[in-house]
Amino acid sequence: MKQILFFLFMGLATVAMAQTKVSGVIKDTAGTPIAFANVIFKDSNEGTISNEEGRFYLESDDNYTEVVFSFIGFSSTEVTLTDRSTYNMEIVLEEEAAALDEVVIFTGKQSKKNNPAIDILRKIWENRRENGVKKFKQYQYDKYEKLEFDLNTIDSALINSRVFNGMEFIFDQTDTSNITGNTYLPIFINEAYAKVYGDNLLNEEKEVLEGNKNSGFDNNNTLIAFIKDLYSEYNVYDNYLKFFDKAFTSPLSTTGIDVYNYVLLDSAYRDNKWCYNIVYYPRRKNELTFKGDFWVNDSTWAIKEINLQASKSANLNWVREVYIEQEFDVLNDSTFLITRDYFLSDFSFRKKEGARGVYGKRTTLYDNYEFDIKKDKSFYKEQVDPYQYEVYNRPDDYWEEKRMESLSKDEKGVYKMLDTLKTVPRFKTLYNLGAVLATGYYETNNFDVGPVFSIFGFNEAEGLRIRLGGRTYFSQNDPWRIEGFGAYGFKDERFKYGISAKWLLDRTSRLTVFAGNRKDVEQTGASLTNSNDVLGRSLASSSLISVGANDRLSRINLTTVGFEVEPVKNLVLRLTGSYRNLESATDTFSIDYFDEDGTIRSTVSQPEIELAFNYTPRRKTSGYGVERTIINDGDFPVFYVAYTYGLKDVLNGDFEYKKLQGLYTRPWNIGGLGRLLTTVEVGKIFDPVPLSLLSPIPGNQTYFSLYNTFTQLDYYEFVSDTYASLHVQHNFGGRLFSRIPGLRKLNLREVIGFRAVYGEISEENIALNASNIIYQAPGDIYYEYSVGIGNIFKIFRLDFNFRGNYLNNPDARKFGVTGVFGFSF
């Protein structure tokens, strides 16, 4: 959902006073673009290198009249500038027979042996742990962050577009990027000031927000938090830098010599420190790499300045440009501390030059470092109120004092322009349309209708199903919320419904009470780890098309009540009482069982009490109401343990039993090899229960690739009371396809998967069974595997699934093809 929100934001969104600006393309006499050619203002250290397409942009705050273009094996060319801004130049370099000994320029593969740049790089590796805040036991500093989003590539066609009728005044705030040279229009700005505390002995860090100010989408904290998460913290000394869920190889990585070329270009004083200047660029196309240069001190081997520009051919969706600058200062002549971090990304639906997009810019400044001031471990663990009025309503004089970098004239104008824009009816209409598509709900005063994407469904019991629901919504930080739905099946001619309410009693501990009731048709056993979400519903219950008959459905009447609390950040304790009635929803499926008297019964009435612990370290959330939005979804480990006690003869309960379940899932960034997702689930039911209360191994008879299910299993093909399962899925991110010339430009991505499960079923449970399901447990570990091609048209993945064993089971599916849609970077 967060990706959809972000892309819709891009679609809806769809004068720095530098003295000298030049841009254009460099070619040879045959018209072929020259990649990584050198572009330098004459008699200066200010320069850049062209990208893979030969394009360049260079800007300086100083006045220059000449630019030098050079490339090994070609004659260097000097161009005299007649204007301060010269765009779309076409530079043609001529080949020369003799090498240019006086030109210290670079291209092609550089030697790894006898290369002074690599010798310096090894010194950086040896000393990188001795620099920065990690050198001290404890640390603290002030942090100021400015986040801005801008609509770029502003031209007359856009200005005169009907979309902006009545909003033409916004174009008075246009500016020019000093990185790309494109004109842009600021559309969002957020400022934050915080105190950061860390303890390297405890491996703990805590950031205390003291001030926050924004305009534009000022009450959409989810959008703000998601944007911030796009620019997650990183350290250039790390081997891999993670942006947009992708792991880029750092130019300072110990594996860098395998993916980068390095050239020692220059040496000079930088702030009274003698430094070497090293230029680097990729060895191959389509990999997640950068080009740029850095200055490194000759005694501490610490980075003084570095810039990184992502490779244009990198296998990255929706992002046309990534540019990073970092500056470091010296403490006591030995320790280099970061003082400024600038990150720019250019998001666009098309990577073509001239296509419109959105700039995301983050500027982070650091000051007032202090060290070895110890704080108790409890300081890092204690919960704090996530919302304090004064933090979000600081006066202007506070920001004048705390800003470490003054706002430009245009940035100051953004606040006023965006406040005015929100009063324009046409803008409100566009914003509301985007909200419907992003959230799935249509806002009507304080009640949202939806979700619109689940109106239609189909299954064997209900036939065509129509569902309509809604929720109370005063703001995303509501302390209470009521949700509900009504549904009707045209085949069974029955009405279904669900209603849920929750109330946040305390923001600091997040003490919440909840209750709900649902009467519906459900595909039970769609997952091993059960959920008591009263409004939850699996895709298997309403899939429009499926493999074979999807008739093993149950009618469920579920009531829940309980509370949860978060005593420590990201540790949630939940106590739930539930009561459910279950019966078969079709004539072809039976849940029958023998009761104590040997009588066959067809319904189950069962109250339960469940105590669950859910721990999600590193999870980031937005909001402080009863519902929060997870910002970094799928980027943190999950530990889950639940103990369930079934009650007999209480509320006419049929069975007494105990159940224990556990789940552990974790994503792993495997450096340059892609991203791995693993899940382990274990569980055991300690007493005899009928089919409806057992743990069927979750099959998948839909044509969708559903993680944590077994694609080649039918529903209820395996039934267990004790189980252990493993799911592994690895996305190589195009690392293999990028080596194949015919596939390289398609930016496809390779995905492999492996799924296995072990299960047991007791004789006591088999003796209870009177259903038409023959119990079989995967005592010999069942497994299947898959290979997939992802990033098809940037939004689709196709998986080819293979069954590993139990091939003699009736109607066993040995092979299947499934797919999944999704937005990813």
Q: What tens digit of pLDDT does each residue of 256-296 get?
A: 888 898 988 888 888 888 899 998 988 887 788 898 889 99
What whole-number percentage of the chain has pLDDT above 70?
83
Nearest-angstrom CA–CA distance, 505 and 513: 8
SS3 190: strand
Q: Which residue has the tokens 């009274």?
A: 272
- pLDDT at residue 823, rounded to an integer: 76
Q: Give the number of other CB atoms < 10 A from CB of residue 64.
A: 18
Q: Which of 538, 562, 561 is nearest to 550 (CA)?
A: 538
Nearest-angstrom CA–CA distance, 660 and 650: 21
Summarize the confidence of residues 328-344 as an average pLDDT.
Answer: 81
CB 188 within 8 A of CB 217: yes
Per-residue model confidence as pLDDT tens digits over 55-87: 888 888 788 888 988 876 678 888 888 887 787
- Between 1-10, 389-398, 535-544, the lowest mean confidence (pLDDT) is in 1-10
Residue 805 predicted with pLDDT over 90: yes
Q: Give the number of other CB atoms < 10 A from CB of residue 19.
A: 12
Per-residue model confidence as pLDDT tens digits over 709-767: 999 999 999 999 999 999 999 999 888 887 787 787 788 999 999 999 999 999 999 99
| HEC per residue, 377-429 | HHHHHCCCCCCCHHHHCCCHHHHHHHCCCCCCHHHHHHHHHHHHHCCCHHHHH
Nearest-angstrom CA–CA distance, 48 and 521: 63
- pLDDT at residue 756, rounded to an integer: 97
pLDDT class of 670 with cuts at 50, 70, 90: confident
| HEC per residue, 111-132 | CCCCCHHHHHHHHHHHHHHHCH
pLDDT class of 172 with cuts at 50, 70, 90: low
Nearest-angstrom CA–CA distance, 776 and 223: 48
CB 733 within 8 A of CB 752: no
* Tokens linked to 136: 């001290």
Helix spans in 739-819 (H): 741-744, 763-768
Nearest-angstrom CA–CA distance, 232 and 253: 19
pLDDT class of 13 with cuts at 50, 70, 90: very low
Average pLDDT across the chain, whole number: 83
Question: pTM of the full predicted structure?
Answer: 0.76
DSSP for 255-306?
Answer: THHHHEEEEEEEEEEETTEEEEEEEEEESSSSSS-EEEEEEEETTT--EEEE
CB 774 within 8 A of CB 508: no
- pLDDT at residue 111, rounded to an integer: 66
More confident call, 392 vs 482: 482
Summarize the confidence of residues 584-590 as an average pLDDT.
Answer: 92
pLDDT class of 12 with cuts at 50, 70, 90: very low
Summarize the confidence of residues 466-483 as an average pLDDT.
Answer: 90
DSSP, res 716: T
Total residues belonging to the chain: 825
Task: Give me the amino acid identity at 711.
Answer: T
- pLDDT at residue 102, rounded to an integer: 37
pLDDT class of 637 with cuts at 50, 70, 90: very high
pLDDT class of 388 with cuts at 50, 70, 90: confident
Summarize the confidence of residues 337-341 as an average pLDDT.
Answer: 89
Sign of torsion, CA 437 438 440 442?
A: negative
Q: Give the number of other CB atoms < 10 A from CB of residue 684.
A: 16
pLDDT class of 647 with cuts at 50, 70, 90: very high
Omega before residue 451 within 30° of 0, cis = yes
Residue 122 predicted with pLDDT over 80: yes
Summarize the confidence of residues 472-484 as an average pLDDT.
Answer: 89
- pLDDT at residue 333, rounded to an integer: 63
Nearest-angstrom CA–CA distance, 223 and 227: 6
More confident call, 76 vs 177: 76
- CA angle in degrees (0–180, nearest 5) for 289-668-699: 125
Residue 2 predicted with pLDDT over 70: no
761: Cα separation from own chain's centroid = 40
Summarize the confidence of residues 36-56 as an average pLDDT.
Answer: 81
Residue 678 predicted with pLDDT over 80: yes
Summarize the confidence of residues 149-154 as an average pLDDT.
Answer: 69
Q: Are strands 20-28 and 593-594 parallel, antiparallel or unpaired?
A: unpaired
pLDDT class of 332 with cuts at 50, 70, 90: low
Nearest-angstrom CA–CA distance, 754 and 606: 35
Q: Residues 6 or more apart from 170 whose CB is under 8 A from it?
A: 164, 185, 187, 417, 421
Residue 27 predicted with pLDDT over 50: yes
Per-residue model confidence as pLDDT tens digits over 221-247: 555 555 665 656 778 888 888 877 788
Residue 141 predicted with pLDDT over 80: yes
CB 219 within 8 A of CB 475: yes
Q: Which residue has the tokens 């349309």?
A: 433
- pLDDT at residue 621, rounded to an integer: 79
CB 578 within 8 A of CB 536: no
- pLDDT at residue 807, rounded to an integer: 95
Residue 218 predicted with pLDDT over 60: no
- pLDDT at residue 550, rounded to an integer: 76
DSSP, res 660: E
- pLDDT at residue 103, rounded to an integer: 35
- pLDDT at residue 542, rounded to an integer: 65
Identify each DSSP E strand in 114-231 by its residue range. 138-152, 175-176, 183-199, 204-215
Task: Give me the amino acid identity at 315.
Answer: N
* Tokens linked to 214: 């924004």
CB 790 within 8 A of CB 527: no
Helix spans in 460-571 (H): none
Residue 113 predicted with pLDDT over 50: yes
CA 802 to each of CA 550, 581, 755: distance values in angstroms, whole numbers, following the listed order: 21, 37, 10
Per-residue model confidence as pLDDT tens digits over 408-437: 776 777 766 766 666 666 666 666 676 676
Summarize the confidence of residues 548-573 as an average pLDDT.
Answer: 90
Q: Which residue has the tokens 């110990």?
A: 254
Residue 492 predicted with pLDDT over 70: yes
CB 437 within 8 A of CB 10: no
pLDDT class of 629 with cuts at 50, 70, 90: confident
Nearest-angstrom CA–CA distance, 599 and 227: 60
* Tokens linked to 372: 């070895």
Q: Which of 598, 600, 560 is nearest to 584 (CA)?
A: 600
